[in-house]
Amino acid sequence: MLISKKLKEKVIIIAESDPQLLAEIKLNLNKQGFLNIKTALDGQQIYEILRSYYGIAKKIGLLIVNEQLPQCDVLAMCQQLSSHDASLIPFIILSADENKHNIENSEFNSQALIHQMSYPINYSVLMDTIGFQLIMMQERYLRHKQEERLINELAERKIVDAKLKYLVVHDELTGLINRHNFESQLRLVLMRSRIRQQEGALIFINLDRFSLVNELEGFDVGDRLLIEIVAIIRKIIFKDDLFARIGSDEFCLFLDNKTAKEVKQFAERVRASVDEFKFSSGGVCYSTSLSIGIASVNTVTADYHPNEIISKARQACRMAKEHGRNMVWSYNETDTKVQERNKDLYWVPLIKKALLGEKVSSSISASCLFR
């Protein structure tokens, strides 16, 4: 049997209590190119040799042992050293014919690489057996490494899949839910509020002059500012509150089962907390502030579509910015700016139709189209 040079470099341990027979076995192995041989006269010496290879068991190729070796329970040793494919050590057990069935009939033999030979030793058969055992050991080790690699790849794939599923519904930077997920959950919350006849409000939060920090300090610093602002707000809100990042520097927070007064107080608390925070970068300290818009949901005039209530909260936030920033503004249909915005929303689709050459009501004057 052709044995590779790499396998012949493995350590062969010969454990035989008869020194003359031990020398004879070693000499025959040397003639066949096995030069890395360790010898033992009893079980204690075997374990002393094995201890020197602790952590590098792969260097050990095979153990040839006399079944009647002093201070040695051969079967227990086989079970201990052949229990795992990654560190499996094949055994060739030399025994008398009458004892041969003891190990061959054991259940463990089907899982380990154990071969029994009878005295006197047929060295031609011994060499073939050594070659077979070494090749089988190598095959088992390679199979184990392949299985290990496949398990690791599967685990990595599961991690990637889990991360992708997370990112589908979350903002990667802040860990908040994203706009799509927020709108889906908000639709359910609004439906529940309608059924229970509960009040609530959507808070639209915009970080004032965020683009200035990005321009002066770079996007990495801007990202850090966003993370710190979110951390401040998270300390104030409840764990189950619906909090989302819906734009670069825009956030939405829905407060369920809260009166208009409670919502206003809460929003002021958020604004004040961020206003007190000083953001530092490169030795420069920046003041931070929020413009906050509130769109209330009540049992009388309730909006139960996510896009509509978000739009109203955004308009209120815009009013806060136009009135000087760093303030809380509640949505009001009577606000001049809100009325102008609603008027624009009415005319935009009509203007689009006109530009596309479609018929428009005669009430639309040319001045409306080109103002």
pLDDT at 97: 67
For 102, counting Cβ atoms within 10 Å of its Cβ (0-12 exposed, 13-18 middle, 19+ buried), the class is middle
CATH topology of domain 179-332: Alpha-Beta Plaits (3.30.70)
Higher pLDDT pick, 104 / 271? 271
Q: Where are the domains of the chain?
A: 5-146, 179-332
Is the pLDDT score of 346 beyond 80? no
pLDDT at residue 113, as a whole number: 82
Amino acid symbol at 7: L
pLDDT greater at residue 334 or residue 170: 170
**Residue 66 pLDDT > 50, yes or no?**
yes
pTM of the complete model = 0.60
Q: What is the pLDDT of residue 251?
A: 98
Whether residue 365 contacts residue 299, with contact meaning beta carbons closer than 8 Å, is answered with no
Looking only at Cα atoms, what is the longest distance across the chain?
119
pLDDT of amino acid 315: 94
Per the CB < 8 A criterion, the answer to whether 212 and 295 are in contact is no
pLDDT of residue 64: 93
Whether the CA torsion 246, 249, 254, 259 is positive or negative: it is negative
What's the whole-number mean pLDDT along residues 189-216? 91
| Cis geometry, peptide bond prior to residue 120 (ω within 30 degrees of 0) | yes
Q: Is 60 helix (H, G, I), strand (E, B) or coil?
A: strand
pLDDT at res. 369: 47
Report whether pLDDT(99) > 90: no
The predicted pLDDT at position 340 comes to 66
> How far is residue 253's CA from residue 181's CA, in Å, rounded to a whole number?
13
User: Any bridge partners for residue 93, and if so which?
Assistant: 65, 116
User: Which strands, in side-by-side order, build the sheet including 91-95?
Assistant: 37-40, 11-15, 60-66, 91-95, 114-118
Over residues 263-291, mean pLDDT: 94
- Position 36 scores a pLDDT of 93
Q: Which residue has the higher pLDDT, 215 or 368?
A: 215
DSSP per-residue codes, 88-120: ---EEEEE-GGGTHHHHTSGGGGTS-EEEEESS
pLDDT for position 205: 98
Tell me what pLDDT residue 76 has.
85
- In 3-state terms, what secondary structure has residue 32? coil
pLDDT in tens, 39-50: 999 999 999 998
Query: What Rg, from alpha-carbon coordinates, does the chain have?
Result: 40
The whole-angstrom separation of Cα 16 and Cα 4 is 26
Residue 121 carries which DSSP code?
P
Write down the H helix ranges in the chain. 5-8, 19-31, 43-51, 74-81, 101-104, 123-169, 179-196, 210-217, 219-236, 260-276, 306-322, 336-355, 366-370
* Residue-level pLDDT at 112: 65
Q: Strand 278-281 to strand 284-287: parallel, antiparallel, or no bridges (unpaired)?
A: antiparallel
pLDDT exceeds 80 at position 131: yes
Taking only the tens place, the pLDDT of each residue in 81-93 is 876 655 688 999 9
> What average pLDDT does this structure show over 190-205?
90
276-299 in b/e burial notation, b at 16+ Cβ within 10 A?
ebebebeeeebebbbbbbbbbbee
Specify the CATH number for 5-146; select among 1.10.1030.10, 3.40.50.970, 3.40.50.2300, 3.40.50.10440.
3.40.50.2300
Query: With 80 as the cut, is the pLDDT of residue 73 above it?
Result: yes
Highest mean pLDDT out of 69-73, 138-142, 220-224: 220-224
Q: Which of 290, 297, 296, 240 is nearest to 270 (CA)?
A: 290
- Mean pLDDT within 198-215: 93
Point out which residues pair with 327 in neighbouring strands. none
Please compute the mean of the pLDDT values over residues 73-88 and round it to a whole number. 75
Strand partners, 40: 15
Mean pLDDT, all residues of the chain: 86
Q: What's the confidence (pLDDT) of residue 370?
A: 47
Beta bridge partners, 292, equal: 205, 328
Say how far apart CA 203 and CA 312 lie, in whole Å.
10
